[in-house]
Amino acid sequence: MTILTLIAANQPDDGQKYAHLEQLFKAAIRDGVLRPGEKLPPLRTAAWEAKCSLGTMSRVYSSLERKGLVNARVGQGTFVQETANIGADVILPNLHQPPKKHSVTKDSIIDLGMNAIANDWGEEIIRWALQRTSTKASSFNLMTYRDGFGDTQQKLALRAFLPEPLRGIGEDRILINHGAQNGIYTALGRLSSPGDTVCQEPLSYPGVSAAISQLGLSSLTVDTDDQGICPVSFEQQCKKGRVRILVTTATGHNPTCITTPLSRRNEIGRIAQKYDVLIMEDDIYGFLYPDAPPPYAKLFPEQAIYLSGLAKRISPSLRIGFAVASPHLTMLMAQGITAQTWMVSPVLINAALEISSRADDLAALTLQITAAAKERHDLTSRILTPYINNYDSCQSHAWVQLPETISISQLVHQASKAGVHILGGSRFANNTTAGEQNIRLSIMAPETIQKLEQGLIKLKTVLSTSNEISCDFF
């Protein structure tokens, strides 16, 4: 049996084609009908056999790629991932080794794809905090099982990492978890039921879609504008029923850089109250925006779940995150933590407690990152302006719109061959059209501004020679 005969033999009901076809392809990969390295049928052929539109089948292929099951190669087609790589880039793609005929190596690639924030201070303070933990933490903290509910005094102390409007909350509204992504997964898993729908922005951090898919939940998108989620669109979706959770990044949105103003947050919150929808706010970059409006968890404490962590502020290796919600919701999420891993590592919690005591250093680091972001924004704009249609940046990344004459997939491929890793906007898309002429540049990721400049100059050369083999210039 081939994938085409499998599709022909399992025609979906009207209105369910996309989800049905995606599950068929997943099953074919799992069961060996589609083998590692095998090329998928051309889109038109697969769409004809499925009796669906080309757009529907393209959406299926794109979703399989985002989940790390297949790999699209420019000019060659789409191939099933090798077994060792399946799922490896379910959230963000791995840096891949360029062809050997080029001098670029993995170690020399300038990574503008992974949204990290370079800082010299992070490694030093982690080593300091772990050393302090090794000598100061009690035997009870280091040698005893706890549960997912966490320790009261630790939760109160870790309020230092929350935005100012949330620092006065009680410990019953705080949950310590394994980072923001773990918080997303735990909240979606514990606070929704089969048949519920999760509402997302058209563009968002891919980890949310990965969690929704793995949990078997349904999702839909709302319209957005330059202030974030459109209230009219959100209410229209709520009226359809079964919307349980709205996921949003209201401050320093990834990837669009939008920060939703207070008036719009109040509109969205009132609609959520009206239809009993939980607002799940991912605020992983919020520490870089001290003047941002209050989080939804402050404005609508019974209707919102606030999620953040230390991955961007300190280091991705410090897998500590925080959830703020009403007590009955944190109780449910704590049960999820217990079921998954029993407890959050006391060693990491104690290290985070040590870091929280260095309030002056944390404030200084934020000012340092903000100043560096402004400098890098200006550099990016100066180098790329001749080739872009629109450009926005925030404290961690830039969102760049390119002319329709440029193929984004080809640009990503050519930039990689030239030694620069970037992400096309479709990597963040939750529908078929969002971000299709955009790229996201993690301008804060390179260790130095000089390295960023090198990467931007290479990218500029690729943009200026889009019909040539750009990597030959390097």
Q: pLDDT tens digits, residue range 65-97?
A: 877 788 887 678 899 987 666 666 677 666 554
Q: Where do you find CATH 3.90.1150.10 in the chain?
A: 106-115+361-473
The pLDDT, as a whole number, for residue 15 is: 59
Q: Answer whether 458's CB lies under 8 Å from 474's CB.
A: yes
Q: How far apart are the C-alpha atoms of 287 and 290, rounded to whole Å?
A: 6
Question: Which one of 3.40.50.2000, 3.40.640.10, 3.90.110.10, 3.30.1490.20 gives the CATH number of domain 121-357?
Answer: 3.40.640.10
Residue range 430-459: mean pLDDT, rounded: 93
Residue 471 has pLDDT above 50, yes or no: no
Fold of the domain spanning 3-85: Arc Repressor Mutant, subunit A (1.10.10)
Query: What percent of the chain is modeled with pLDDT above 90?
Result: 53
Per-residue pLDDT band at 102 (split at 50, 70, 90): very low
The answer to whether the bond into 99 is cis (omega within 30° of 0) is: no
Residue 474 has pLDDT above 90, yes or no: no
Structure tokens at 212: 């929704």
Residue 139 has pLDDT above 60, yes or no: yes
Selection from 8-17, 328-337, 463-472 with the highest mean pLDDT: 328-337
Q: How far apart are the C-alpha atoms of 200 and 186, rounded to whole Å?
A: 17
| Least confident window among 211-220, 374-383, 452-461 | 211-220
The pLDDT, as a whole number, for residue 147 is: 78
The pLDDT, as a whole number, for residue 100 is: 45
Per-residue pLDDT band at 164 (split at 50, 70, 90): very high
Within a 10 A sphere around the Cβ of 313, how many other Cβ atoms? 22
Q: Which contacts (CB < 8 Å, 24+ apart) does range 84-93 have?
A: 86/29, 86/36, 90/66, 90/206, 90/210, 91/181, 91/206, 91/207, 91/210, 92/206, 92/423, 92/427, 93/423, 93/427
Q: Answer whether 434's CB lies under 8 Å from 202's CB.
A: yes
Q: Where do you find CATH 3.40.640.10 in the chain?
A: 121-357
User: Closest Cα partner for 295 from 390, 177, 173, 130?
Assistant: 173
Instruction: Kindly give the residue spans of alpha helices, DSSP state H, lying in 251-358.
Output: 262-275, 296-299, 327-341, 346-356
Question: What is this structure's pTM?
Answer: 0.82
Structure tokens at 242: 């079964």
Computed over every residue of the chain, the mean pLDDT equals 88
Residue 4 has pLDDT above 60, yes or no: yes
Residue 106 has pLDDT above 60, yes or no: no
Residue 98 has pLDDT above 50, yes or no: no
Return the bridge partners of 242, or none. none
Q: How far apart are the C-alpha atoms of 303 and 469, rounded to whole Å?
A: 53
Residue 184 has pLDDT above 60, yes or no: yes
Within a 10 A sphere around the Cβ of 114, how many other Cβ atoms? 14
**Hey, what CATH class is 106-115+361-473 in?**
alpha beta
- Distance between alpha carbon 9 and the CA centroid of its chain, in Å? 36
Q: Where do you find CATH 1.10.10.10 in the chain?
A: 3-85
The pLDDT, as a whole number, for residue 16 is: 67
Amino acid at 316: P
Span 360-376, pLDDT tens digits: 888 888 888 899 999 99
Q: How far apart are the C-alpha atoms of 102 and 49, rounded to whole Å?
A: 40
Within a 10 A sphere around the Cβ of 60, how many other Cβ atoms? 26
pLDDT: is 95 or 456 the higher one? Answer: 456
